[in-house]
C-alpha cells in the first residue's frame, strides 16, 4: 500500500482506535500516527505497544499538524474533543470518526470546525465486545463494511481519501444518508445490544443462588447475550442517548412482536410459533450467504 | 472406557441424538446402537455415516431389546414415541431423554411405561443452532453440564448408569428437581431463544430493501441473534408450548426491565443506562470464569 496521509491523529485509542492504528502501521498508510486518550494509561500502553509514534492525553497536541484526525472516542465526548482540537487543526485537515450514530456527529462536531477543515462522518461496521488498546487488532476490518455519510456539498476528493483509508484496511466502503444510517444501525446493532443488556440485567436481579446457576448453564443460549452485554458501558450509553428516536422506534416494533409471541405461547398457538421460527431461518441463511456469519 | 450398555436405542437422530451416537461409538460405550427417526432420509444418513448399527423409522423396532432408550425427538413427539415403544421395552430397560423441559417429560412419558421400566429424565446442556444427523459431533458434550431430574423413589443404581453415560461423553452431571430445572432453563435458554426469534422476526417484517441492509450490516450485533434464531423450529415450538408458565414468568420480568430501559432512553437518563451496562459486565466475567464462554 502507498502512504495515504503524512500524519494521522487518533482520538481515543480503544478497540477501534487501536485497531486502526495497527492497520495503519501494518500497511504503512501514514508516515506518523499520533494518539490522544483521556486515560493516560491507555496512551502509554499504545506507545509501549508500538502502534503509535506519539501518545498523550491532550487532543490538541495530537491533532496539531495532522492531515487526518479520526475520532474514536465515545459519542458523548465528541463535542468536547472537537472544541479542543479546533484551534490546532491545520487548514485542509480532514476530521472523520468511527461512531455508531452519524447524525449526532454532524450535530456535535461540525459547529466547532474552522473553515477549510473537512468533516467526513464514517462508521466502520466491525467490533468485538472488548475494550482498550490491547483489544484491537488489524484483522478486525477486512471483509466488513464501512459506511461514510458525507455532508451535502462535501469535497469529493476528500471523501475519497477517507474511503481509501478504510479500503486499505480491508473494508468495503458504502455511502449513505446519515439518518438512514442511524435507522439501519438501530435495527442491526443498537436494538440487539439493548436487548442483550436487558436480558443479562434481568439475570443480575435474580437471587444469588439462581444467578450462579444461570452462569453455570449459560451455554444453552444466555452466554451469547452476555458476550454482547460485556461491551463498553460508556460507548453504549452514548449510542442510546444519541440515537434515541430510531432506537425507540425499533424498540416499539420489537415490543409489539414480543407481545404477539407472548400471547401465542399463552394460548398454545404452536402454528404461529412454528411459522415465525421458520421465517427467521431464512434471515440466518441470508446472513450466511452475505458472508457476514 | 468400558462398555456401559449392551444395546442403546436413540429415538430421533438429529443434532443431539447423532452427537450421542458418535460419542458412544468413539468411546465404545455400547455393543450396539440402533436409531429410529420419523424422517427416513435421516435414518438412512445415520447408517451411512456409520454412527449407528441399525436405523429405521419404527421406534418399537429400535427399542426392542434395548437396555437404554434415549428420547432425542422434539418434546411434542414424546407421548407418541413413548406409546409406540412401550410394548417393545424389555423388563429393566431404562428410558431417558435429552429434552430442554423436564416436567413435560414426566407428564408425557411416564404414564406409557410398563412396570419394571425405569424413567430417568435428563438434559445435556449443550447444542448448536444446527439440525440433523450431519450436524452432530462427539465434542459437543465435553466441558458442559448434564442435568438429571430423577423421580422420587427412583432406583439410584439406574440413575447412576445414565450419569455414567454422560460422564463418559465428557459431561459433568448434576441433579435437580424438574420444576427448578425448567425455571433455570427458561432464563438461560428459552427466554434468550424467544428474544432472538423475536428480534430476527421483527427484521423479517421490514420492507425488502431495508431487510437486505440489515443482513449486510449484521456483523454489528444482529448476526449473533440470527445464529440463535436459526435453531430448529419444531424443537423450539415444543419447548415454548411445554414450559409455558416458566417462560411467561421470565418474559414478564424481562418486559418490565425493558420498559424501564426504554423510559431511561426516552428521558435521557444516562446514569441508569451506564449502571446497568456496568452490572452486566460482571455477569460476563462470571461466565468466563465458569469457563462457559
Instruction: List, in order of start, the domains of chain A with CATH numbers.
Output: 5-176 (3.40.50.720), 180-289 (1.10.3660.10)
Considering Cα of A71, then A73, then A75, then A78, what sign does the dihedral take?
Answer: negative
Rg (Cα) of chain A, in Å, rounded? 21
What pairing do the DSSP bridges indicate for beta strands A94-97 and A118-120? parallel
| Closest listed residue to residue A155, CA positions, set A106, A109, A92, A83 | A92
CB half-sphere exposure, B142, CA atoms < 13 A: 7
- Provide, rounded to the nearest whole percent, the portion of chain A with pLDDT above 90: 86
* Nearest C-alpha neighbor of B30 from the set B20, B39, B45: B20
Are B74 and B234 a contacting pair, CB within 8 Å? Answer: yes
pLDDT at B182: 97
Q: Does A291 score more than 80 pLDDT?
A: no
User: Could you tell me if B64 lies within 8 Å of chain A, comparing CB atoms?
Assistant: no
- Let me know: does A101 contact A185? Beta carbons within 8 Å: yes
The verdict on a CB contact (< 8 Å) between B257 and A201 is yes
* Residue A146 pLDDT level (bands cut at 50, 70, 90): very high
Contact across the interface for A217 and B274, Cβ inside 8 Å: no
The reply to whether A236 touches chain B by the CB within 8 Å rule is: yes
Residue B184 host element (H or E)? helix B178-185
Q: Determine the residue among B220, B233, B291 to mutate to test chain A binding: the one whose Cβ has the most chain A Cβ atoms within 10 Å.
A: B220
pLDDT range class, residue A206, cuts 50, 70, 90: confident
Q: Which of B148, B144, B205 is nearest to A216 (CA)?
A: B144
* B132-175 tens-digit pLDDT: 999 999 999 999 999 999 999 999 999 999 999 999 999 999 99
Longest Cα–Cα distance in chain A: 67
Q: Which residues of A touch B287 (CB under 8 A)?
A: 215, 218, 222-223, 226
In the predicted model, is pLDDT for residue A1 greater than 70?
Answer: no
Report whether A36 contacts A9 (CB < 8 A).
yes
Chain-centroid distance of CA B23 in Å reads 16
Residues of chain B with pLDDT under 70: 1, 292-293
Q: What is the mean pLDDT of chain A?
A: 95
For residue A267, give Cα distances in angstroms to B240, B243, B274. Answer: 11, 13, 37
**ipTM score here?**
0.91
CA distance B201 to B217: 16
DSSP A169: T
For residue A293, pLDDT over 70 is answered with: no
Better pLDDT: B202 or A37: A37
Is it the case that residue A292 has pLDDT exceeding 90?
A: no
Residues 156-215 (B) with a CB less than 8 A from some CB of A: 183-185, 187-206, 210-215
0.95 exceeded by the pTM?
no
**Do A269 and A277 form a contact (C-beta atoms < 8 A)?**
no
Distance set, CA A104 to CA A94, A202, A262, B260 (Å)? 18, 30, 35, 24
Q: What is the pLDDT of residues B193-227, one digit of tens each?
A: 999 999 999 988 888 888 889 988 988 889 889 98
CB contact under 8 A, A270 and B241: yes
Q: Given this model, what pLDDT does residue B1 score?
A: 61
Q: Which residue has the cell 466475567?
A: B285
Backbone angles phi, psi at B58, to 5 degrees: -95, 110
Nearest to A96 by CA among A178, A4, A10, A21: A10
Question: Using the beta-carbon criterion (under 8 Å), do A265 and B274 form an inter-chain contact?
Answer: no
Nearest to A199 among B195, B211, B238 (CB): B195
Helices (H) and strands (E) in chain A, counts: 13, 9
Kindly state the average pLDDT of the residues A265-275. Answer: 97
Other C-beta atoms lying within 10 Å of the C-beta of residue A134: 14
Q: How far apart are CA A71 and CA B126, in angstroms?
A: 42
Amino acid at each position: 500500500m502507498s502512504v495515504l496521509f503524512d500524519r494521522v491523529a487518533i482520538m481515543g485509542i480503544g478497540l477501534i482506535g487501536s485497531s486502526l492504528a495497527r492497520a495503519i502501521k501494518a500497511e504503512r498508510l501514514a508516515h506518523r500516527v499520533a494518539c490522544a486518550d483521556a486515560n493516560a494509561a491507555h496512551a502509554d500502553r499504545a506507545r509501549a505497544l508500538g502502534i503509535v509514534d506519539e501518545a498523550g492525553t491532550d487532543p490538541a497536541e495530537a491533532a496539531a499538524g495532522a492531515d487526518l484526525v479520526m475520532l474514536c472516542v465515545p459519542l458523548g465526548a465528541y463535542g468536547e474533543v472537537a472544541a479542543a482540537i479546533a484551534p490546532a487543526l491545520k487548514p485542509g485537515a480532514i476530521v472523520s470518526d468511527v461512531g455508531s450514530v452519524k447524525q449526532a456527529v454532524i450535530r456535535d462536531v461540525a459547529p466547532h470546525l474552522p473553515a477549510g477543515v473537512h468533516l467526513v462522518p464514517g462508521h466502520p461496521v466491525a467490533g468485538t465486545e472488548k475494550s482498550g488498546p490491547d483489544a484491537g487488532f488489524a484483522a478486525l476490518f477486512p471483509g466488513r463494511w464501512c459506511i461514510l455519510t458525507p455532508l451535502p456539498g462535501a469535497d469529493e476528493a476528500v471523501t475519497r481519501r477517507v474511503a481509501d483509508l478504510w479500503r486499505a484496511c480491508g473494508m468495503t466502503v458504502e455511502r449513505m444518508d446519515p439518518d438512514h444510517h442511524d435507522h439501519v444501525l438501530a435495527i442491526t446493532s443498537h436494538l440487539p445490544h439493548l436487548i442483550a443488556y436487558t436480558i443479562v440485567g434481568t439475570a443480575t436481579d435474580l437471587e444469588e443462588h439462581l444467578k450462579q446457576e444461570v452462569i453455570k448453564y449459560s451455554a444453552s443460549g444466555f452466554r451469547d447475550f452476555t458476550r454482547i452485554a460485556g461491551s463498553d458501558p460508556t460507548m453504549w450509553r452514548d449510542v442510546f442517548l444519541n440515537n434515541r428516536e430510531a432506537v425507540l422506534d425499533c424498540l416499539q416494533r420489537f415490543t409489539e412482536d414480543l407481545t404477539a409471541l407472548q400471547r401465542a405461547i399463552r394460548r398454545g398457538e404452536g402454528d404461529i410459533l412454528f411459522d415465525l421460527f421458520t421465517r427467521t431461518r431464512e434471515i440466518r441463511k441470508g446472513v450466511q450467504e452475505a458472508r457476514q456469519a
